[in-house]
Chain A
């Protein structure tokens, strides 16, 4: 009697699993015209990439009525990315798009060359193994920061700048490598980089005070999510000392940074979208190469400039406060 009940339990649970599986599968018979886009998380830059990709697909001649774009958000969880990628490959979708490095690596690893994978906003595709022989049927776009452009912009605002402060979080590996690059670039301009690191967001107020005490002319941001997430705290302290903060993305300028020369993620997404369209329409194939956006996008915040009493230089820039 007991055994029968146990058997029933097992059968019921297994049957439930099977039922769920079937529901999931009936809805997806022919998915050639589905483009799955795996976005690593909900983040302004990544969202801009996605918007750009949709624009680029349309410009490239893809009718979004005919093709389905299936957006998958991984909530910054790479195991979810991996499952979403495996699911897209199992469904035999026409193409997988991936925004940010973890999604891109998950997609390329799941597709194994069977389905074209186009990535967007991968800082270092070579190190991520997404180029050449390492990856078959993969291509995309890179979002390497333009530090020369950023320092040129800082010099335009503060001509006699000789030391720039940087806050970064030691837990973010990208920040460590970006800081190294920034230091090399700054050295060619004879500018000193003074950095203060934090291990988590709680240390940011103290770290900002420490940095401000180091006699810096301004602060520039990396794409460090921990620091950017606590931007309000930093700006409150820097404004009190009349020290401008330069952002690494337009969204930060909207939040109170003075200016930034950065990548326009919508443009990057757009270029990626056009690439995807060309591959879908058979004009090109995913050949293991990647593109970069050459010109950085310069923007400034006129309200912040007025508050800090800084003259806005005469170069082409977008004012984020302009309506």
Chain B
């Protein structure tokens, strides 16, 4: 039973980790609060379900779903960068539009089941792990998340990735290097939303059905994961940001599942989650207090040493 709950947490958590990695790019690296996520998550699911139920193999379908997400990100990016709409509003506009687009893609249905079609979680490969499904699910989730994480880490080390990080830290510096910071913002949004749509496509296959409302609250979930993850590992330089947010997503999911397992009345679910997060963050901050002070001292020294 304990094992079962832990297994559920790992599966759901790893799936949300993909969303969290996307939001990590926009929120943490680009400092861009991207609300497109609430729309691009079900977008990925809608595209995947329509293609797979329509007879396409699940791998190209999932990749096309990812591509659809990148278009959503591109829209938000262009609205913000080229048409100077504020970042929050640009995200809201895309997200609102996507609500209708998702319904249209899903053929005006809010819920569509995958019936007997082979999906990422029920195919010849997963049959190899026996009929239980849990082991196979976890293997698949781990493979996908690790692969995406490694690709993302490598990407952030490329010239392009470095510029992306530079834009988030100091856009002026980027301009002074003769680069257009706006284009990198768009790039960041495209990458982030394609990850979110990928998560949506995978989540719908894991759940066994598409749900048009599955995106509601995704931004909050992802932000919470990013913030918890980054706050916890702020002082551990060995752990990369991407790893931190993956763990953050798992902790978030753990909180949700533990609260439900505790039998808390569901009316208080969100309140309990908020309290639990607060406890984690406060504990974390109190424990790290000394460390932070020392760090700021170091920073000061560095600043003095610098120009």
Residues of B with C-beta under 8 A to A25: 1-2, 5, 261
Cβ A9 vs Cβ B251 within 8 A:
no
- Known A6-B236, A74-B266, A129-B209: A92·B108 in contact at CB below 8 Å: no
Complex contact A13–B251 (CB within 8 A): yes
Task: Give the number of residues in B that approach A within 8 Å (Cβ atoms).
Answer: 59
Report whether A20 and B258 are in contact in the complex, using a CB–CB cutoff of 8 Å.
yes
Contact B257 A13 (CB under 8 A): no
B103 close to A134 (CB less than 8 A)? no
Contacts of A36-75 to chain B: CB distance below 8 A: 70, 72-75
Taken together as a complex, chains A and B put the C-alpha atoms of A5 and B208 apart, in Å, by 43
- The residue in chain B whose Cβ has the minimal distance to the Cβ of A84 is B260
Residues of B within 8 A of A84 (CB): 260, 266
Q: Is B147 an interface position by the 8 A CB rule? A: no
User: Chain A 120-164 against B: per-residue CB contact (8 Å), 1 yes, 0 no?
Assistant: 000000011110011000000000000000000000000000000
Q: Which residues of chain B have C-beta atoms less than 8 A from A10's C-beta?
A: 232
Q: Kindly supply a per-residue 1/0 record for chain B positions 218-235, scoring 1 wherever the CB is within 8 Å of any chain A CB and 0 otherwise.
A: 000100000000001101
Interface residues on A, range: 35 or more
Q: By the criterion CB–CB under 8 Å, are A101 and B287 in contact?
A: no
Residues of chain A within 8 A (CB-CB) of B60 are none
- Residues on B with beta carbons closer than 8 Å to the beta carbon of A109: 207-209
Q: Which residue of B lies closest to A130 (CB)?
A: B113
Would you call B280 and A78 a contact (CB within 8 A)? no
Q: Which residue of the partner chain B has the closest CB to A176?
A: B108
Report if A86 contacts B (CB, 8 A).
Answer: yes
Query: Which applies to chain A's interface (DSSP): helix, strand, loop or mixed?
Result: helix
Given known A-B contacts A5-B290, A90-B5, A133-B116, A73 and B266 have beta carbons under 8 A apart: yes
Contact A101 B111 (CB under 8 A): yes
Q: Is A27 an interface residue (CB 8 A)?
A: yes
Asked whether, in the complex, the Cβ of A177 is within 8 Å of the Cβ of B207, the reply is: no
Expressed in whole angstroms, the minimum distance between the Cβ of B36 and any Cβ of chain A is: 18
Q: Of the candidates B6, B100, B276, B280, which one forms a contact with A21 in the assembled complex, judged by CB atoms under 8 Å apart?
A: B6
Instruction: Name the contact of B4 in the complex, choosing from A27, A70, A90, A102 (C-beta under 8 A).
Output: A90
Q: Which residues of B contact A (CB under 8 A)?
A: 1-2, 4-6, 8, 12, 99-100, 103, 108-116, 133, 207-209, 211-214, 216-217, 221, 232-233, 235-236, 251, 254-258, 260-263, 265-267, 269-270, 276, 279-280, 283-284, 287-288, 290-291, 294
Other than the known A17-B251, A127-B109, what 11 A-B pairs have Cβ atoms closer than 8 Å? A3-B236, A17-B255, A21-B5, A23-B262, A75-B267, A79-B217, A89-B4, A90-B4, A90-B8, A105-B208, A134-B116
What are 17 residue pairs bridging A and B, where the CB atoms are less than 8 Å apart in the complex?
Answer: A5-B235, A21-B2, A25-B2, A25-B5, A73-B267, A79-B217, A80-B256, A80-B269, A82-B12, A105-B208, A105-B209, A106-B207, A109-B207, A128-B111, A129-B114, A170-B100, A173-B108
